[in-house]
Amino acid sequence: MPAQSEVIAALDALWPPGRAEQWDAVGTVCGDPDAEVRRVLFAVDPVREVVDEAVELGADLLVTHHPLYLRGTTTVAASTFKGRVVHTLIKHDIGLHVAHTNADRADPGVSDALAGALDLRVTGPLVPDPDDPAGRRGLGRICELDEPETLAGFTARAAAALPATAQGIRVAGDPGRTVRTVAVCGGSGDSLFDDVRRAGVDVYLTADLRHHPASEAREQARARAAGADAAVPALVDAAHWATEWPWTEQAAAQLDEISDRHGWNLRTHVSRAVTDPWTAHAASDTRPADAPPTPITDIPGAPN
């Protein structure tokens, strides 16, 4: 049975903490380095539902992508939800370890897992890490489809491949346009629009796309392409949690392989709890904007 310090050393070799962004807070949040580890649970978010799952499972270590404390704290009182997480973990002898932007930039990293879930062939990073002579590490990935398909087909592929969320998939672009090349970035990707443009891909798949960056990226590309829509990258926006969840399966498989190699006999688990904060979605009325408004008496539940 490995000690927690041995397991964490193996995780740090996969995702070296020194490669995290300056603003990030990665590494071990709580845990005893001498404790024995039998079961490890992987999840995206260190939230109460996931911690309860770790307790129920009898996990000794919880590994999450998102940090519990990104900006530091002066209290772990159980009256705060983060403090409650810390108390529950310590009470049940469960360590918490975070691999965030260091896992994003790794090879394989979060965006490799996202590309793999959609069956895309990765050709390289979207923003290469200048310190990687092999040119494989970095943010986001540029990918190819084995066979070109329509944007509608690609959207259906994303909807089928990613775990179901209330948001589903949002798309900007002509559903009939051809898709051959794709940029993907797990998590919030609207800071990478310049790199997407430079990559010249047909589609950008990411999460958390906001109105202004998305609108401006589309309009600028359209102006440069003199209105030719095929030259404007289509945008496919999935739920943040859904774009990062495939990494938990990839990470568990990586630790399984290390465990086999060392004869550790670890049991790894992947949380399937949907911790995306959005819980419902109503499709809009798709009638044209200039159609007369629906009389309020026709809306179910409306006062008459």
Sheet holding 27-30, edge to edge: 27-30, 95-98, 61-64, 39-43, 267-270
- To the nearest whole angstrom, how small is the minimum distance from the Cβ of residue 207 to Zn ion? 8
Q: How far is the CB of 282 from Zn ion (least distance, A)?
A: 25
Nearest to 89 by CA among 68, 73, 103: 68
Considering the rule CB under 5 A, would residue 140 count as an interface residue with Zn ion?
no
Q: How far is the CB of 288 from Zn ion (least distance, A)?
A: 37
Nearer to Zn ion, 4 or 167 (CB): 167
Instruction: State which of positions 169-188 bind Zn ion (CB under 5 A).
Output: 187
Please identify, using beta-carbon distances, which residue of 244 and 276 lies nearer to Zn ion: 244
Alpha carbon distance 67, 54 (integer Å): 16
CA gyration radius for the chain?
A: 22
Q: Say how many C-beta atoms besides its own lie within 10 A of residue 198's C-beta.
A: 12
Q: Which residue's CB is nearer to Zn ion, number 155 or number 206?
A: 206
Sign of CA dihedral 225, 211, 67, 25: positive
CB of 55 to Zn ion, least distance (A): 24
Which burial class, exposed, middle or buried, applies to 117 when counting CB atoms under 10 A from its CB (0-12, 13-18, 19+)? buried
Q: For residues 193 and 264, which CB has a smaller minimum distance to Zn ion in the complex? A: 193
Quick one: 109 or 187, whose CB is closer to Zn ion?
187
Angle CA 229–234–239, to nearest 5: 160
Provide the token pair at 162: 């990613």
Residues 219-258 contacting Zn ion, CB under 5 A: 244
Q: Is the CB of 4 or the CB of 206 nearer to Zn ion?
A: 206
287: phi then psi, degrees, rounded to nearest 5: -65, 155
In terms of CB distance, is 166 or 231 closer to Zn ion?
166
Q: Nearest-CB residue to Zn ion?
A: 187
CB of 187 to Zn ion, least distance (A): 3
* Least distance CB 263 / Zn ion (angstroms): 34
**Helix 240-262 vs helix 110-117: crossing angle, to nearest 10:** 100
Q: Least distance in Å: CB of 250 to Zn ion? A: 15
Contacts of 212 (CB under 8 A, 6+ apart): none
Binding site for Zn ion (CB under 5 A): 187, 244
